[in-house]
């Protein structure tokens, strides 16, 4: 039987090359993999909002209503973490009130028979 003249060098070289490429690619940030930065920012903002709501002694439902664009999951996580922190450190919250903004003046259209329609600001006093 003839001896197999295949040297181990190509196999060893392929193995080293594959391991090396794997290590190099593991450290890369490949575009398209991972979360979108805007999504990460929304999540962080929502978590901070939830924590602030808890510190302001607001219920989680009120927090959801006041922040409809936030991630509800992240708001809840922030609220829950702040609740745990406040209980462990025996902290009281700080009661806040939401100040309603004055309504914007309503415009009504006044028409004269001889003139073009005009917009007139109508105040609510």
Residues 64-79 pLDDT 10s = 998 999 999 999 999 9
Which one-letter DSSP state was computed for residue 101?
A: P
Q: 53 versus 4: which is more confidently predicted?
A: 53
Does 37 score more than 80 pLDDT? yes
pLDDT tens-digit readout, 50-61: 999 999 888 889
Tell whether the torsion through CA atoms of 71, 72, 74 and 78 is positive or negative: positive
Which of 31-40's residues contact partners 24+ apart within 8 Å by CB, and which partners?
A: none
> Looking at residue 96, what is its pLDDT?
74
């Amino acid at each position: 039987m003839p001896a197999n003249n295949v040297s181990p060098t190509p196999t060893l070289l392929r193995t080293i090359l594959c391991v090396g490429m794997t290590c190099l690619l593991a450290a890369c940030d490949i575009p398209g993999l991972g979360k979108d930065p805007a999504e990460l920012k929304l999540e962080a903002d929502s978590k901070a909002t939830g924590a602030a709501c808890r510190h302001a002694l607001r219920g989680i439902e009120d927090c959801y209503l006041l922040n409809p664009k936030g991630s509800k999951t992240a708001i809840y996580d922030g609220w829950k973490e702040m609740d745990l922190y406040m209980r462990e450190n025996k902290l009281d919250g700080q009661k806040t009130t939401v100040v309603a903004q004055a309504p914007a003046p309503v415009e009504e259209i006044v028409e004269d028979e001889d003139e073009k329609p005009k917009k007139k600001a109508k105040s609510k006093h």
